[in-house]
Structure 1
């Protein structure tokens, strides 16, 4: 891709990631302050092959099950497979 993040993905082993998510920022970013919550959804077939950098969010599914860290950030660049719908504010 653009090489903005230390991340490699693959579609070789397609696995569907689908569902509504709740996420909270792990640190202050251009998206908001640490702890800011968001609602969104995930729909993709990509698999993360390697990543090296600080995670952007802590995530949970719609039922509240912990999904762990997701997304990456590098400086002011923030990215994830999560399509943000709204903040919790």
Structure 2
């Protein structure tokens, strides 16, 4: 999964890459299925791989949601983008 970094409060999750505007680059990723948070990770890059072996262990078959939020040194987690996928 690869996502586009955001500039800050007024930026949208558009397709273009923008200057980060933060001291460090970090993103919070939460995986939810059937209303239960299955996994939570923090990454320092604009990509994350959910290995198929981990997915098989973590998830029941069916759809699941991945929430991605940029972390700010000043404001904490920004607005989340939700991606729905199927295991």
**Shared fold, TM over 0.5:** no
Q: Normalising by structure 1, what TM-score? A: 0.33
Q: Normalising by structure 2, what TM-score? A: 0.34
